[in-house]
Structure 1
């Protein structure tokens, strides 16, 4: 598999960019096949005049939800403009007014609530000519999960019209967004080579490079597709541990009882073992929590969205007076907390499956790669 970045100079050669002013949107997870950073490689070979960074900053180390300030990059001497504010406000068009093109090279994780795609949407909305260097969807391009988000629930962690797991590369998604939201700016794509829709990240023969502080492990990326919803509860999703989204829990949970109940579900592709942990930050900082550790047995069979809801339903049944939800849950999930109740869950999962199939058909016209 050859990334859009590795094909960029050859693919863009006919655009006569030498006389243009270019801005590069990237972060520390974007590398060439020989592990040159996108920033270093492109700034040496193209007239890049400005750098832009999404949530977590150019170095991908700023904590989730924290403001990212403008800075100057020590390697290139270029100004790094932040495209992220904690309020999710729109990108200021003035920051790229003098540019001829924006180049977008960011590895995403194929999920609706990952804010890098909200930043991509904001750039498309500006109407500035945009070149996307395509990268593989780590979760593959065959599976779609979750309900389609209604416009009333739209936020910076949820562009409307998308299911949770949408099965498109970042480049394919850009063209879907352009069509879905009616944007008319010039959009170009440097496609992947040697990539198949059926490829998971494990099939790319590339190491996983941390895309944000809580997604340092590939297993965590897959589980994040469901267990990100725990951010909308009073359960720790494992932030402040070495395995966010792989471990979860709270002080009020009996991990052995919960493990036994979850084991009765017969879940495919994953097993859970009891665990105790003390988060160093975020929820329950410094407190002893008890919960479960997820272990992926089969990445192809795993359906993390439904797995998380089924586990949450058990926790709600076991601890109805202790488990709480906040307004963030519906923005992430696409429905209210009552969905996890025993008498509602089956209908919610059925609706999510129906809407996933609807999007599966819709996305076919935007697919650039075969199976």
Structure 2
């Protein structure tokens, strides 16, 4: 067992690692020390001059569902004012940050290594805001819970940039939040520093870090969920349930029109590191709420060879091939781009499947993160 000291743990032990008289902490329930002490309280007890808290999607307490945040104005635990950053950028975000009166922004939230998970883009927008406002910015780094040796999936096409992807990184990027901050700050030039996670190696699985798993969001209950999410999160852009409203979100995929051919066909593909169990489930909310649907549960038996993005593309292709009249893209009643295009980072996946083709070759062979970094900084071996 390795024992990793996260950035917040290091700062709580040595407040001199950070400069600032009025510090704003961007955090949520994952911002804890290894003994589960909330980071905000630990930093204040250590003498760090916190004067404000900032919350991302799901809120500072993590109670809100996807696409929402909390509206609390005062944090009951610390008595500090809370500023809701979700769905704000540009001048609106600048005004929010300026109104807080902070001179330094500090980010301490667990990412899960997937481009369309929004916390890194909250960080991105706030780094940009800090640069415009002349504030300092710091990242209290944490491990990438799905590892840092593999990047998978295509880079985002800038034409499809949005709240689920602001910069050209792969679907599974393989970096920590601190490494991503250093990368994106090349565009902004903020006064940035990263307090690294001591003892973390790129090949270290989360279970070996000695750190507790705290749900990053309401539908990310376990490390196993995070491992499959870079692939099965793409089903949010379809009419299949991605398992929201069950105890195994993103590990359960299903729809009313699927049948026993789906699991059998997937197992017949021999995809690396995973098996599929034919199953039924009834979501309690979200897609197909209250309806018994048939589908599969993913059982990852070899995390080293498992390729979540390739797996999801194969699942979509088979579902579309077996049920061409039923499979459909999520329709929010809005104009293009489709949500699947924003998740994938271009329209290539949607167009390939709509043409009846196999999208597997749209996913470049997986490689080490350094293969796409274009001169970015890797902080960990």
TM-score band, normalised by the shorter chain? Answer: over 0.9
The answer to whether the 8 A contact 1:272-1:293 is kept is yes
How far apart in 1 are the matches of 2:206 and 2:17?
A: 31
Give the gaps of 5 or more residues in structure 2: 331-337
Find the residue that maps to 1:174 and give its secondary structure.
helix
Q: For residue 107 of structure 1, what is the aligned residue in structure 2?
A: 110
Structure 1 stretch displaced more, 35-44 or 213-222? 35-44
**Within-5 A mapping of 1:1-371:** 1-13=4-16, 15=18, 17=20, 20-45=21-46, 46-85=48-87, 89-90=89-90, 92-97=93-98, 98-126=101-129, 127=131, 128-179=135-186, 182-254=187-259, 256-326=260-330, 327-336=338-347, 337-340=350-353, 343-349=357-363, 352-353=364-365, 360-362=371-373, 365-370=376-381
- Change in CA separation of 1:16 and 1:260 when aligned onto 2, cut-off 3 Å: closer
Q: How much does 1:235 deviate?
A: 0.2
Q: How much does 1:205 deviate?
A: 2.4
Q: How much does 1:225 deviate?
A: 0.9
- Change in CA separation of 1:304 and 1:346 when aligned onto 2, cut-off 3 Å: closer
Deviations 1:54-85 (A, max 9, x none): 00001111000024324211111111111103
How far apart in 2 are the matches of 1:285 and 1:242?
A: 14
Alignment RMSD: 1.8
The answer to whether the 8 A contact 2:252-2:296 is kept is yes
TM-score, structure 2 length as denominator? 0.90
The answer to whether the 8 A contact 1:147-1:353 is kept is no
Deviations 1:140-166 (A, max 9, x none): 111000000011011100122111011
Structure 1 stretch displaced more, 195-204 or 265-274? 195-204
Find the residue that maps to 1:161 and give its secondary structure.
coil
Q: How much does 1:9 deviate?
A: 3.6
Find the residue that maps to 1:343 and give its secondary structure.
coil
The answer to whether the 8 A contact 2:314-2:360 is kept is no
- Change in CA separation of 1:216 and 1:307 when aligned onto 2, cut-off 3 Å: same
How far apart in 1 are the matches of 2:114 and 2:189?
A: 24
The answer to whether the 8 A contact 1:153-1:160 is kept is no
How far apart in 2 are the matches of 1:345 and 1:49?
A: 49
Q: How much does 1:95 deviate?
A: 2.7
- Change in CA separation of 1:335 and 1:185 when aligned onto 2, cut-off 3 Å: closer
TM-score, structure 1 length as denominator? 0.92
How far apart in 2 are the matches of 1:213 and 1:146?
A: 25
